[in-house]
């Protein structure tokens, strides 16, 4: 039955080749999908960057509008000074809040997880009794 063994070997070889081909195609598909996703992420990030810049300009124009509105009742320099003072106050509050949040998060150690790991280790050891 040497002919039959050759036929089985040929079939096994064909299965191996098709499996390799399928694996290569799957890698190509994954690469293509990753490239598409990366391009989409890049375009999304660029759109968000543009939106952030435009939002910054919008805030500037809104503040200029507030100053111009105040300038109808006050001298222009005083209106601009009031808007600038308001910005400084808002900035100071944001700094205080930011520093407080940073202090709360520092050091970045998962304290609860560490405590749970210690308790688990003690439980596994049998509370230190052997």
pLDDT digits (tens, 9 = 90+) for 56-109: 999 999 999 999 999 999 999 999 999 999 999 999 999 999 999 988 877 777
Give the integer Cα–Cα distance in Å for 123 and 117: 10
pTM exceeding the 0.85 threshold for the entire prediction: no
Give the integer Cα–Cα distance in Å for 128 and 118: 12
**Across the chain, what does the average pLDDT equal?**
88
Burial class (CB in 10 A: 0-12, 13-18, 19+), 60: exposed
For the chain, give every domain's residue range. 1-73, 74-130
| pLDDT computed for residue 2 by the predictor | 59
- What pLDDT digit, counting tens, does each position of 3-45 carry? 677 888 888 889 889 888 888 889 888 889 988 999 999 999 9
């Amino acid at each position: 039955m040497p002919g039959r063994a050759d036929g089985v070997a040929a079939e096994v070889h064909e299965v191996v080749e098709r499996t390799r081909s399928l694996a290569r195609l799957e890698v190509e598909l994954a690469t293509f999908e990753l490239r598409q996703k990366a391009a989409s992420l890049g375009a999304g990030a660029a759109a968000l960057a543009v939106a952030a810049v435009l939002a910054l300009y919008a805030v500037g124009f809104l503040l200029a509008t507030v100053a111009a509105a105040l300038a109808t009742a006050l001298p222009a320099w005083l209106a601009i000074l009031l808007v600038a003072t308001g910005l400084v106050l808002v900035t100071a509050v944001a700094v205080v809040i930011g520093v407080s949040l940073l202090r709360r998060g520092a050091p970045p150690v998962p304290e609860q997880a560490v405590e749970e790991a210690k308790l688990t280790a003690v439980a596994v050891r049998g509370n230190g009794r052997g």
